[in-house]
Amino acid sequence: PRPRRHGVPINAVIVGLNYYSNDGVRSLQGAVNDAYKFRKGLLRYYQAKKRNIKLFVDAKLKNRKYRCVTCSDVVTAIMDMFRKARRGDILVYYFAGHGGSTSTKQYNNNSGNIEFLRTNKGDIRDGVMRQLSESVPEGCLFYIVTDCCKCGGLVEGVHEQIGTSTKHSVIRVRGEEPRMRYLSSLRKTSDIPNAIHLSACQNFQLSAETFFEDQNQSGGLFTDSLLKVLKKNYFRVSNIDLTRKIRKRMRNMKLKEKQHAGLYCSDVQGEFNFLSFEWMGLSKRRKRKLEKMGQTAIGSLKGMLPHKVIQSLEREDGTWQWDRIVDDFVVKGKMKNCLAVCGGTNDVSVAFGLLVSELSDKPWKGKVINFSAEPDLHVIEGDDLRSKTNFVKDMERGVNIDFQRVFDCILDVAIEENLKEDRMIKRIFVLSDMEFDEASANSWETDYQEITRKYGEAGYAVPQLVCPPALVSN
């Protein structure tokens, strides 16, 4: 397929380790190849930049020169990626190498075992992965992709969508020994809103590698399946569907030992495109379930307010952050019959006006009324958030408004479209720096009587007029 346009900045730490000096740990053949293949996929199909990808391999493909990759190297690189991240970034950690698990009598966690990723020097344990996942910057999404043995349930606390690795047991701490003390702070599953883990297998299974004759190199079956499923679906497939398709593909291989991919994330994140904030189409049943649970896309609007996104347009493209906010409200089904009157150029007024226009149903969707003595219903023009913002800011505006004409504009559309009552505007938001008494060009009592008469004759209820206090952008 043709490379897809991917509007979200991607930052990644990619690790591929073949050679292990540990006693009893055999070396691998294809982990380094898998790391290079995954990086190539990010560069070609997701438009990631080379400078934003940190690659750790213990052997270069050309000269096979050995290099030791330590646990500290990897964890430090991930933390550096977090520090440099900006709101709206996709952060990726990919690992191909040896993984494992060990039972413990000290405490019960999600799986009953301690899972770990093995580097050339030191192991990255599930507790460390939990702490890393809790450190993800607000407004970012952290994807963890692991192609190694026994990696299911690696990230403590993340909800298991597909798989059988976790036991959902209560975490208990016995004593307060220093090495175990951090466990007392672990929270229930679903408390990590920004982490998505895609594993090659369950925590009791092995991850297979083989020699691919068509590629003339060795590699992991999971990574190969992942990239081929993505390519077949034109890189637009939800996390849940991606995991299911990988499992189906690997089942058809009829492996000697079963290997089932796993997915760990919230219900809403499962519906996102892989490596994206973008939603896939939700079935009615799925949408009702999400609405009932009251979940929102990757966390709430905390730290992701509409006017903050508008303010960020001077230095970055906020389209993807904006789409997240709109999706949050769409899931809740709010503000479908609302219309905004925009009168200020400040970011709060413009952002809220744009948001209302995005959430409204047809024929009101994408429309706004300008705050003026001669107000009109405008179709917002522009191909992206920046151009739409500029359109709203450049609309004609005045120091007062003819409210009767505002209501007339709405009534004219309703009569022309022959709208039923349930599709009529229910609420009008007046977004202006002016106070209500100063804004009205005529006596409101006089206007309201005339408005009520016109709407009554047409068989509609008068929309509620909402005039917030003067809006100030912080």
pLDDT of residue 52: 94
Write down the pLDDT at residue 149.
92
Tell me the per-residue pLDDT of 328-387, one tens digit each, with 9 for 90 and over.
Answer: 677 666 778 899 998 766 778 888 888 899 888 889 999 999 888 888 999 999 878 888
Residue 27 confidence (pLDDT): 87
Tell me the backbone φ, ψ of residue 147, rounded to 5 degrees: -115, 85
Name the residue type at position 96.
A
**Domain segments of the chain as ranges:** 10-270, 335-466
pLDDT of res. 82 = 93
CATH of span 335-466 = 3.40.50
Please compute the mean of the pLDDT values over residues 107-121 and round it to a whole number: 75
pLDDT at residue 39 in the model: 95
Helix (H) or strand (E) holding 34: helix 31-45
- Which of the two residues, 417 and 440, has the higher pLDDT score? 417
CB atoms within 10 A of CB 229: 20
Q: Tell me the residue ranges of DSSP E strands in 110-176.
A: 113-118, 123-125, 141-147, 160-162
Percent of the chain with pLDDT over 90: 27
State how far the Cα of 397 lies from the Cα of 371, in Å rounded to an integer: 5
Reported as half-sphere exposure (CB side, CA atoms, 13 A), residue 457 has a value of: 8
- Average pLDDT of the segment spanning 273-283: 70
How does residue 33 score in pLDDT terms, banded at 50, 70 and 90? Answer: very high
Band of residue 156 on the pLDDT scale cut at 50, 70, 90: confident
Could you identify the residue written with the tokens 């307010």? 305
* Residue range 120-134: mean pLDDT, rounded: 87
* Mean pLDDT of the 226-252 span: 89
> In 315-462, at which residue ranges do the beta strands (DSSP E only) sit?
338-342, 367-370, 377-379, 427-431
C-alpha 92/C-alpha 142 separation (Å) is 6
Name which of 182, 194, 279, 222 is nearest 97 in CA terms: 222
Assess contact for 6 and 30: CB atoms under 8 A: no
Structure tokens at 350: 């413009």
Identify the CA nearest to 459 among candidates 427, 414, 408.
414
In which residue are the tokens 């890189």 written?
A: 235
pLDDT of residue 24: 72
Q: Count other Cβ atoms within 10 Å, centred on residue 460.
A: 18
Q: What single-letter DSSP state applies at residue 110? A: S
**Do 151 and 201 form a contact (C-beta atoms < 8 A)?**
yes
Q: Please, are residues 338 and 429 in contact by the beta-carbon 8 Å criterion?
A: yes
pLDDT for residue 468: 66
Residue 223 near residue 193 (C-beta atoms within 8 A): no
* Residues composing the chain: 474
Coil, helix or strand for 103? strand
Q: What is the pLDDT of residue 295?
A: 45
- Judged against a pLDDT cut of 70, whether residue 286 lies above it is answered with no
Considering the chain, what percentage of its residues have pLDDT values greater than 70? Answer: 74
Q: Are strands 217-220 and 209-212 parallel, antiparallel or unpaired?
A: antiparallel
Nearest CA-CA partner of 199 in 243, 143, 146: 146
DSSP for residue 97? S
Question: What average pLDDT is seen over the chain?
Answer: 78
Listed range (316-320, 351-355, 416-420) with the worst mean pLDDT: 316-320
User: Predicted confidence band at 2 (pLDDT cuts at 50, 70, 90)?
Assistant: very low
Written as six digits, the tokens of 399 are 């120091």
Dihedral of CA atoms 294, 298, 300, 305 in degrees, nearest 10, equals -140
Q: Note whether 10-270 and 335-466 share their fold.
A: yes
Taking residue 226's Cβ as centre, other Cβ atoms within 10 Å add up to 27
pLDDT for 53 beyond 50: yes
What CATH number does domain 10-270 carry, 2.70.150.10, 3.40.50.1860, 2.40.30.110, 3.40.50.1460? 3.40.50.1460
What is the mean pLDDT of the segment spanning 412-440?
Answer: 79
Q: How does residue 424 score in pLDDT terms, banded at 50, 70 and 90?
A: very high
Q: Which amino acid is at 333?
A: G
Angle of helix 284-293 versus helix 319-332 axis, rounded to 10: 90
Residue pLDDT, tens place only, 60-112: 766 556 788 999 999 999 999 999 998 888 999 999 999 988 876 554 455 66
Burial readout 317-348 (b: 16 or more C-beta within 10 A, e: otherwise): bbbbbbbbbebbbbbeeebeebbbbbbbebbb
- Alpha helices (H) in 213-332, listed in sequence order: 221-232, 239-252, 267-270, 284-293, 306-311, 319-332
Q: What is the DSSP letter of 311?
A: H
According to DSSP, residue 336 is labeled: T
136 CB-near residues (< 8 Å, 6+ apart): 82, 91, 142, 194, 195
Kindly report the backbone phi and psi dihedral angles of residue 388, in degrees, each rounded to the nearest multiple of 5, phi listed first: -65, -40
Which amino acid is present at 277?
F
Cα 97 from Cα 222, distance rounded (Å) = 12
- C-alpha angle 267-271-275 in degrees, rounded to nearest 5: 115
Q: Give me the pLDDT at residue 220, please.
A: 92
DSSP E strands: which ranges in 343-462?
Answer: 367-370, 377-379, 427-431
Which residue did the predictor score with more confidence, 45 or 436? Answer: 45
The pTM for the full model equals 0.58
What integer pLDDT is reported at residue 309 of this predicted model?
76
